[in-house]
Amino acid sequence: MEISGSEQSKAPPVKLKVKAIEGTPENFKEYGQLIEPSPDGEEYGPQDAQLNLSQGIPRFYTMILEKRPLGFATITHHASVTQCLGSIGGQVWYLGVAKPSILDAKEIKEKQNEGMEIEQSRCGHYYVPPAVDEVKVFRISGPKFVKLDVGTWHAGPLFKGDSMNFFNLELTDTNVVDHTTHDFRRKNGVVFSIDD
């Protein structure tokens, strides 16, 4: 049942528990890549991050995050860049995801004809909002990182401790000019809780 905006503001959000799935290269491929360690000297291939950093200047940095408990109400995507995230030291962390839903001009008309909701980002592009029942949560453990495809919706990194450090590869202005967020609490009347 879809809850209207006025009903959502009066009723508390529904808390949905989502079971975390251990991330593997196979089960993460609809969202990007899960990159595992490879031997020194191994040549470049499909097991390596397939990056798109062509829309600006890459930014690779250490990101310090504090108090990111296992729950979320918003999810974000970037329309111009792949993004890589990995915990420093291989600590366990979690990432909520939904498939990319950015539309080109032809797809806009198709989705309108199908009666689907279409929104325009403040960044200019059009997209279909992520569906509540399509959200998945991955548990990332060990010396791995994820490469998110352009447009992949993501919530996190999330973790159990007080703080964690992450490597982050995106563009210098990703969080200023390429940051579209969907608020599940406001738009769908739900929040997500991670069951691990």
**pLDDT in single tens digits along all 196 residues of the chain:** 233 344 445 789 999 999 999 999 999 999 999 999 999 999 999 999 999 999 999 999 999 999 999 999 999 999 999 999 999 999 999 999 999 999 998 899 898 889 899 999 999 999 999 999 999 999 999 999 999 999 999 999 999 999 999 999 999 999 999 999 999 999 999 999 999 8
Residue 28 belongs to some domain of the structure: yes
Gap between the Cα atoms of 91 and 20, Å rounded: 15
If one counts the domains in the chain, the total is 1
Q: Which of 136, 117, 37, 35 is nearest to 84 (CA)?
A: 35
Residue 116 belongs to some domain of the structure: no
Contacts for 54 with CB less than 8 Å, ≥ 6 apart: none
Residue type, 37: P
Which pTM does this prediction carry? Answer: 0.92
Range of the domain at 84: 14-37+48-101+131-194
Residue 122 belongs to some domain of the structure: no
Gap between the Cα atoms of 188 and 131, Å rounded: 9
Q: Report the CATH number that the domain containing residue 182 is assigned in CATH.
A: 2.60.120.480
Residue 29 belongs to some domain of the structure: yes
What are φ and ψ of residue 195, in 5° steps? -100, 115
Gap between the Cα atoms of 70 and 29, Å rounded: 23
Residue 6 belongs to some domain of the structure: no
Residue 119 belongs to some domain of the structure: no
Residue 8 belongs to some domain of the structure: no
Residue 20 belongs to some domain of the structure: yes
CB distance 87 to 161 below 8 Å = no
